[in-house]
Amino acid sequence: MDRKNFVDMDTKKEEDASPEEWVALCDFTGSGSEQLSFYTGDRLLVLSKSSADWWWAELQGVTGYAPARYLREDTADEEEDASIEDPWQDEEYYGSYGTLKLHLEMLSDRSRTETYRQVIVSNSASLRNKVVMDLGCGTGIISMFCAQLAKPSAVYAVEASSMADYTGQLVKHNGCEDVVTVMKGRAEELELPEQVDVLVSEWMGNCLLFEFMVESVLVARDRWLKDGGVMWPSSAALTLVPCQARSYYAEKMSFWERPYGLDFTPLQSLAQQEFFNKPKFSHVIELNDCLAAPCDVISMDMYALQVRDLEEMRGEFQFSVETSGLFHGFTAWFSVHFESLETGGTTIELNTGPNSEPTHWKQTLFMLDEPVSVFSGDSITGTIGLHRNPIWRRHMTVTLQWNIRGQTEEADSFQGGKKSFPMWR
Ligand SMILES: NC(=[NH2+])NCCC[C@H]1O[C@@H](n2cnc3c(N)ncnc32)[C@H](O)[C@@H]1O
């Protein structure tokens, strides 16, 4: 009798379970031959739910892995099903900002908070009698800086979460109520009493755009900012660098080589999917992990940027490898700039990169499936694409495409790759 060396009831259930039909929530472009590509509305036959994130499925005769988060069950009543999803996940989003955890993290970030204070101080004279909107004011810290360090005629502190109830108390408790008016609600829906001279907001998410709060800032700009009014931040940039990540690779991948004297390498493909197929937020890159000089790959002018531009942001890069080493992946971070209210005044920068004071955003690491040895003089060229999720409006997928050209090799021989990283759906 061929004794099976295990009886896995799940697999048994799976073998018994008949394939189920699932519907694609939005387009997906698979990377590599193992992943399916499909369009919104495609009906996939799910053959096995091999892991939480990736299912083995069939579409028009082709089989491959599909990301489970892009699929929904094919329910009979799709209208009812469609109404269930809250594409902005506002309940969860504003719920999280109704508690102190995130506000404590942001207020504890001295680099972030002091930069906004410095912007107010260095523009205090020009802020006299100006009207300010603080979009997403949270605890109201920026609004109270305005009231305490300058003399604006009015500050409208807009906050959609229940934190707004406390913000009103904080404003009164700090003697700012004659200047600062707290308005509870989403900026897209509120009626301000007047147009504003300055729209200030701290909207930046991981990898600059995650959460897509920037959309709210652009909508408010178009509706409430006077002609000639000032946006703070005035511009933003996403910076990228090819890097080593030896300790992260050792922790998540090499670990399986010899744990307690056993060989667990069959788990390494699972480890690659589970740990390297999504970006690593809150990564701290050491300067000597950078394999080349970082470069800005995407720039945003907050006066010209349109909401429709947020669907697809693209950038190109050309790195010249300065130090030989292992190319484990790319690290990204952002910087934002605050122009002076006075013509010719100094621009202030908040930079979240490894050359600046640490911030709570830290950096974002994108791991390749496998590291590649690179040598001083090699070039790494390619593109980065930020594709906003058409269904989950606070999410995006970052797609990196790269070619490595050795200095010594013939022109036509190069190593390249392409990989997509969902954040998070
Ligand atoms: N830098 C970030 N990633 N997040 C920090 C700012 C987020 C704050 O803005 C609030 N907020 C976000 N979007 C909005 C909006 N459209 N209207 C009002 N408040 C908002 C949110 O509730 C939170 O208190």
> Are 288 and 341 members of one domain?
yes
> Are 52 and 115 members of one domain?
no
Residue 104 lies in domain: 90-202
Domain boundary among 202, 227, 252: 202
pTM, to two decimals:
0.83
Output the pLDDT for position 409.
Answer: 58
**In-domain check, residue 13:** no
* Active-site option among 211, 274, 311, 410: 211
Output the pLDDT for position 86.
Answer: 84
Instruction: Give the residue whose CA is nearest to atom 21 of ligand 1.
Output: 136
**In-domain check, residue 114:** yes
> Are 262 and 140 members of one domain?
no
**In-domain check, residue 181:** yes
Catalytic-residue membership of 194: no
**In-domain check, residue 267:** yes
> Are 64 and 116 members of one domain?
no
Q: Which atom of ligand 1 is nearest to the CA of 106?
A: 5
> Are 406 and 353 members of one domain?
yes
> Are 262 and 393 members of one domain?
yes
**In-domain check, residue 229:** no
Q: What is the tally of structural domains in the chain?
A: 3
Output the pLDDT for position 147.
Answer: 98
From ligand 1's centre to the CA of 332, what distance in Å? 22
Ligand 1 neighbours, Cβ below 6 Å, are 94, 97, 106, 136, 138, 158-161, 163, 186-188, 202-205, 211, 213, 216
10-residue averages of pLDDT along the chain (425 residues): 45 60 84 86 89 88 88 63 69 95 98 98 98 98 98 98 98 98 98 98 97 98 98 98 98 98 98 96 97 98 97 97 97 98 96 98 98 96 95 94 83 80 90
**Best mutation site among 92, 159, 162, 215 for ligand 1, i.e. most ligand atoms within 8 A of its Cβ?**
159
Give the chain as a 3 state SS string: CCCCCCCCHHHHHHHHCCCEEEEECCCECCCCCCECCECCCCEEEEEECCCCCEEEEEECCEEEEEEHHHEEECCCCHHHHHHHCCCCCHHHHHHHHCCHHHHHHHHHCHHHHHHHHHHHHHCHHHHCCCEEEEECCCCCHHHHHHHHHCCCCEEEEEECCCHHHHHHHHHHHCCCCCCEEEEECCCCCCCCCCCEEEEEECCCECCECCCCCHHHHHHHHHHHEEEEEEEECCEEEEEEEEECCHHHHHHHCHHHHCHHHCCCHHHHHHHHHHHHCCCEEEECCCHHHECCCCEEEEEEECCCCCHHHHHEEEEEEEEECCCCEEEEEEEEEEEEEECCCCCCCCCEEEECCCCCCCCCCCEEEEEEEEEEEECCCCEEEEEEEEEECCCCCCCEEEEEEEEEECCCCCCCCEEEEEEEEEECC
From ligand 1's centre to the CA of 279, what distance in Å? 23
Catalytic-residue membership of 202: yes
**CATH code (residue 37):** 2.30.30.40
Instruction: Give the residue whose CA is nearest to atom 14 of ligand 1.
Output: 136
**CATH code (residue 342):** 2.70.160.11
